[in-house]
Amino acid sequence: MGFDQYHEPAHELSAETRTFARMVASLTEEAEAIGWYEQRISVEPDAQARAIMQNAQHEEFKHFAMDLEYLTRRAPKLRVALKGVLFTEGDIVAAGESAEEAEEGVDD
């Protein structure tokens, strides 16, 4: 990925913002890996190869979760949004709308 996770001059960004951007890039990479494994697993005819890739994909789930948790600890509104949407039942869009309203009461 190089340095292209920054959209502003890196030297103008605080260390905290650079770390946040790195973790967002990492989250994106973990999500991509999850999707790539999903595709590979779906077409792989060899059961042992499929099992290894499934094991690897499970690792990526953990990496994704850790990256996301890191980010939510540094972005209070993101945390509120996730609390309002994740692990809920029913209409996801409605949960998102409610979560967005809940964000309004939280400082950045």
Q: Which is nearer to Fe ion, 62 or 83 (CB)?
A: 62
**Of residues 63, 82, 98, 102, which one binds Fe ion by CB under 5 A?**
63
| By the rule CB under 5 A, 67 interacts with Fe ion | no
Q: Is the Cα torsion angle 7, 23, 80, 83 positive or negative in sign?
A: positive
| By the rule CB under 5 A, 22 interacts with Fe ion | no
Q: How far is the CB of 60 from Fe ion (least distance, A)?
A: 5
| By the rule CB under 5 A, 60 interacts with Fe ion | yes
Reported for 70-76, long-range contacts at CB under 8 A and 24+ positions apart, including other chains, are 70/23, 71/20, 71/23, 71/24, 71/27, 74/16, 74/20, 75/20, 75/108, 76/106, 76/107, 76/108
Q: How far is the CB of 59 from Fe ion (least distance, A)?
A: 6
Q: How far is the CB of 91 from Fe ion (least distance, A)?
A: 31
Distance CA 56, CA 79 (A): 27
Q: How far is the CB of 80 from Fe ion (least distance, A)?
A: 26
